[in-house]
Amino acid sequence: MDILSMHNGKHCVPEWKWHVPVGCHPGFTLWSIWGGEGQIMLGKNCYKLSIGDVFFINYQNEVDAYQSEHTSLDVRYIDFTLQNPDILSDLPEHRHFDQYHFVLELFNRFRLAEERNNLTQMEVWLQALITEYQHITPTSTGAYTIKIDELCRMFQQHPQQQYDMSELAQSFSLTTDHFIRIFKQERGVTPYAYLQRCRLETAKTLLRMSTLSITDIASSCGFSDIYNFSRFFQSKTGISPSRFRN
């Protein structure tokens, strides 16, 4: 894949909107949602935006996007042009990643390489992103798959909330034990373990990418105080939040 140009950017401003007429962009964009909610129209296809959504935009259709009224949409993207653009003609325009933190890490590594003006590393990370985007994960077709997908997305978007497993089970019309078994069959871990994983990955992302205090990050991840958060983080990573940030 011969890359002619590439650079990263972000959108995260109040009342953000985006419009691109057909043919007004020279290349492609990998466009990822890191936070918030909104909507994007790619031609006639409309998508509700949430964390974990990634789009491959080729600008053959008009593009319109905006954030929801009461939330800030955090978008990170990479624009790039190719000498042989037809090589990506079969890519889907949208994918949702449940394990989206790996994708965010690839975006971050691209950004760091660009800050160092390391074109070789930029190309490595861009190609890794495209490869990850191309990879098709087999989907399960269980009776509860769609509802569990929605629940996982809620855990990812709102890790700060306190969830009652018995209430979640009732929303599935299941006993608590049956709900936990079904969830584990679909995701390989219990719902509580999945939620804790989301909290840990959210904490890692905020420690790397934000200037929030560790107290605020603890609150954003569902912990009542910095002490419980620090104990949890150190038990999972082996180091304290402050050391991880530094």
Question: What is the pTM assigned to this prediction?
Answer: 0.65
Task: Convert the pLDDT of each residue in 145-192 to its tens digit.
Answer: 889 988 988 898 889 999 999 999 999 999 999 999 999 988 888 999
Other CB atoms within 10 A of residue 76 CB: 23
Domains and CATH numbers, the chain: 3-134 (2.60.120.280), 145-245 (1.10.10.60)
Nearest Cα neighbor of 80 from 106, 53, 110, 50 is: 110
Whether pLDDT at 123 is above 80: yes
Nearest to 244, CA basis, from 191, 208, 190, 202: 208
Q: Which amino acid is at 4?
A: L
Q: Report the alpha-carbon distance of residue 180 to residue 43 in Å, rounded.
A: 40
Across 2-6, 40-44, 47-51, 132-136, least confident range: 132-136
Collapsed DSSP state (helix, strand, coil) of residue 146: helix
Cβ–Cβ < 8 Å for 66, 18: yes
DSSP E strand stretches across the chain = 3-11, 17-20, 28-35, 38-42, 45-49, 53-57, 63-67, 74-82, 94-96
